[in-house]
Chain A
Amino acid sequence: MSTDQTSAQTRQVDRVVIRFAGDSGTGMQLAGGRFGSESAGFGNDTTTFPSYPAEIRAPQGTIAGVSSFQVQFASHEVTTVGERLDVLVAMGPAPLRAHAGDVRRGGLIIVDDHGFTPRALKRAGYEHNPLEDDSLGAYQVVHLDMTALTSTVVEALGLGRKQAERCRNMFALGLVSWLYSHPIEETIDWIDRRFASQPDVRDANIAALKAGVNYGETAELFTVRYEVRPAPMPKGRYRQITGNTATAYGLMVGAHRAGLQLFVGSYPITPASDLLHELSRRAGYGVITFQAEDEIAGIGAALGASFGGSLGVTTTSGPGFALKQEMINLAVMSELPLVIVDVQRAGPSTGMPTKPEQGDLLQALWGRNGESPLPVLAPTSPADCFDTAVRACRTAIEYRTPVVMLTDAFLGNGAEPWRLPDLAAIAPIDPKLAAGPIGVDEQGNPVHLPYRRDPRTLARDWAVPGTPGAEHRLGGLEKSVEAGTVTYSPLNHEEMVLTRARRIAGIPVPDVEVDDPSGRADVLVVGWGSACGPVSAAVQRLRGTGARIAQAPVRTLNPLPANLGRVLRGYARVIVPEMNLGQFATLLRARYLVDVRGYNKVRGFPLNVDELTAHLAGQLDEVSDSRTAQTTEESR
């Protein structure tokens, strides 16, 4: 029995998956976000993921208009936001109908039953009230009128009914915070800061939050409270961070370590706009942002800034990335630094703007005319976006090349704890700007050779406008070796094509790290981008059942790690799960002639760990069966 005043006992659990769902605009993102921060602050490993309709104000009360926020928190490392829900908080009939199917059998559904009128039920697609029939019999359902309870408390503070109802998300948060033994002090501080200029709104939100906690304690709705112990994490100072914010900070730090002006030329596009929003607030740190008239102007301005000696960056998603390809090719030809962040979303065409997919890999590699090599990097988690963005800046500057960083809607909007980096420990980036002309002509006069190269990196000398004596012209036409004048000479073109290819192929890439604890696994799972989280979770689960299985996340997709071919050939079976129809698998097969197997889902959601685990278990059985058969064959 617990020793506090309540009758509920507290039970330890390892991990919890909870989803807050309500009509779009009812504050579910805020409540979920705060709950995630509470968990992280408590020391749980915490991942979060928002899901919202593409329409700003989708029809209220319909399935299409439901917005949700999912949190997984655990006493151990988590790499996904979880699949089956332990808890669903549904703030009306439509959210209930939209999400009840994702709750595990026996899971808890907490419902605000205020709006369960016949009309609202019909609008949500229910013929009968699910709270009154046995359609939710597989779950533990607790329903209460959160709207009325909130109003009672808040109206006492003098707020109108409509304003009072807006606080019910805080009531729900309070209730769930109590249920999971979360301290709410941080959230109260947060409300204080957020509504500092509106004292009545601030007080109402705090009152609603506390009312939720008190209701949990006194109403005896729940017989059990839960507690998730802090997860062991490397020592350090942490914060919760989304992939988009981590990317923005990485770009700032990258430019800062190079001593270059960061220039961001972008056009708003879901789900990449948050990068532009975040960076446009950072003028105090010297960041210049440019909201261009279109995607092409965004990258064009970024390349123009790079020509002038800044670090040009553009941020986009699939459809915008397609528009930028011609300008990327000018950066390839003019060998100027440029970072292109593609927060991938489900395509083709407009596709599903708020949903993740990994469908742009081949566009990044081969989506341009001519032989157009460039580095492609992909972070494996929201926090990894920071390191990847810094690396993208470093590579772009040191190798004078456009670099594509592929994140996606899941990595960009998802959040997890991030150990704050020591900026001083991030190696400086040397842009090695030319101070003047770097060659001599036949008469011995100084002359600038814009395409003279560092023999080690093959990076060309970078003289920016304003450098006396180094005047030169760049452009999309093929240029001569070293002198950089326009030429159509066949052999010169071939040499330049090969040199551009060699320069990119020669960029040092860390070896892929194989996680194979037994060292005797037959099956290797190779992931990239946001597939890595589910892969890691599935692999851990299988190991929990005694299986031997290896995994290898690939963070650099071009050039590929030097040891990758050897690694792939070392396993009887290689499986590549992706949120596309096999783009990375195609690349690996072509490059290494290894019979890798794809596992492909394109549903606009991160790979489902249950399904992936089952698939991998089947693969393990197949390989083991064929081993046995082979052994039997050989022993005959």
Chain B
Amino acid sequence: MSTEAQDRTGGRNGLAGVPLAQIPTTRKDFVSDQEVRWCPGCGDYAILSALQSVLPRLGIRRENTVVISGIGCSSRLPYYVNSYGMHSVHGRALTLATGLAMTRDDLAVFVVTGDGDALSIGANHLVHALRRNVNLTILLFNNRIYGLTKGQYSPTSPAGAVTKSSPAGAFDTPLNPMSLALGAEATFVARTLDADQEALEETIDAAARHRGASFVEIYQNCVVFNDGAYEALRGPGREESIIRLRAGEPIVFGRDGHLGVVADPGGGVRVVEVAEVGLESVLVHDPTIDDPSRAFALSRLTSTGAMAQAPMGVFRDVDRPVYDDLVRDHVRREQEALGQDPSSDAALAALIAGTDTWQT
């Protein structure tokens, strides 16, 4: 492998500190000896497969790759990737990942989580990892249901969802993960779909190379408890439902691009027939705008009830100081200022003695 990945973004690469593999790795290197135990037909298989395809392409060493998860169906993933991994506590994967990223800039740290894990019990940590901009790649598998506990509604289930724990329909208002991430000023925010292998791989690849917190929401079908939740985005006619976001291109979708996204006088954006407004009125997507308002407006085009329409692609991709880099810089500067050999006892002994001692 070459150092191409590092050069491309001039040191802003998310993998900048990670040593490169001397012998190129292959997909097989990242397959563990553990039998994969998701339900047959689960969308998780496709995501695992995409990740195992992307990892060798990143060019980094397998032993410097770490996958950390919380609890839930998606969080079983680390067992299936032959790298270092940790299947941690429900909702808390990001806390472990933060400590690991702060102390080891030579690791590529991936976090695998779900809509229950990251948006319910662990929502607090998600907000803080994103606003701090810790150098992590976060993959959120959103199936809009609790799978491992067998079928209760999740924070992304549509209002009124009838589930085992909501026989009268859920009274909760669902959370939009893209809006949440953009509200927290996340620097890389993207959405993709389990069934779209090409976009999935491309998005995970871009997320891994982004320096800072990369947040990828993956719409994932749960065949047992919420089958068909994303049928509108997967089945025939999906081009009418998927608002594809491509940097530098007008945001048009639907058959022959008859639908487009335009600015709304209310400050948001809305979908119109392109023929009615003219292509020149359609917004050109630019994920690099520093102000997250436009990206946030785009995220609001997502259906809140049954899934009928959703923007897919990279909503936001900007540079912002990275928390763990700032911490490491601080420690380095302080160490230089102190000018002591960190391995010697002398500096520590002087510190401990303080300025006020006496002899007996």
Could you list which residues of chain A lie within 8 angstroms of chain B, going by C-beta atoms?
Answer: 37, 40-41, 43, 186, 190, 193, 230, 233-240, 249, 252-253, 256, 259, 261, 263, 265, 282-288, 290, 292-294, 296-310, 312, 326-327, 330, 334, 420-421, 423-424, 465-477, 485-486
Contacts and interface: CB of A to CB of B under 8 A. Distances in A.
Nearest to A301: B99
Contact of A301 (B85, B102, B331, B335): B102
A286 B338 CA distance: 10
A303 B351 CA distance: 27
Given A261-B103, A327-B95, A468-B61, 18 more contacts: A256-B345, A285-B342, A293-B124, A294-B124, A296-B92, A296-B95, A297-B94, A303-B88, A304-B68, A305-B102, A420-B352, A423-B348, A466-B63, A472-B84, A472-B85, A474-B86, A476-B89, A485-B34
B149 interface: no
Contacts of A286: 331, 335, 342
Contacts of A234: 360
B358 A238 contact: yes
Given A300-B89, A303-B99, A472-B84, A466 B334 contact: no
B96 A263 contact: no
A471 B82 CA distance: 7
Contact of B330 (A238, A283, A302): A283
A300 B353 contact: no
A242 B71 CA distance: 41
A501 to B, nearest CB: 22
Nearest to B345: A423
B251 to A, nearest CB: 35
Interface of B: 32, 34, 61-64, 66, 68, 71, 78-79, 82-89, 92, 94-100, 102-104, 106-107, 124-125, 127-128, 327, 330-331, 334-335, 337-338, 340, 342-343, 345, 347-349, 351-360
Given A305-B103, A472-B84, A473-B86, A420 B353 contact: yes
B95 A301 contact: yes
A265 B94 CA distance: 13
A281 B260 CA distance: 54
Nearest to A262: B103
Contact of B100 (A282, A308, A470): A308
Contact of A237 (B99, B103, B347, B359): B359
Given A285-B348, A465-B104, A471-B63, A304 B330 contact: no
Chain A interface SS verdict (over half): mixed
B247 to A, nearest CB: 32
B92 A471 contact: no
Nearest to A486: B79
B103 A474 contact: no
Contacts of A308: 99-100, 103-104, 107
A252 B95 CA distance: 22
Contacts of A309: 103-104
A288 B98 CA distance: 12
A498 B161 CA distance: 45
A239 B99 contact: no
Nearest to A420: B353
A238 B34 CA distance: 58
A306 B100 CA distance: 8
Contacts of A304: 68, 86, 95-100, 103
A305 B102 CA distance: 8
Contact of A474 (B85, B348, B357): B85
The CB with the most chain B CB atoms within 10 A, among A37, A297, A421, A476, is that of A297
B41 to A, nearest CB: 22
Contacts of B357: 237-239, 420
30 contacts: A43-B360, A186-B356, A236-B360, A249-B352, A259-B343, A263-B103, A283-B331, A285-B342, A287-B331, A290-B102, A297-B124, A297-B125, A300-B88, A300-B92, A300-B98, A300-B99, A301-B95, A304-B98, A309-B104, A423-B348, A466-B61, A466-B64, A466-B104, A468-B63, A472-B85, A473-B32, A473-B85, A474-B87, A476-B71, A486-B79
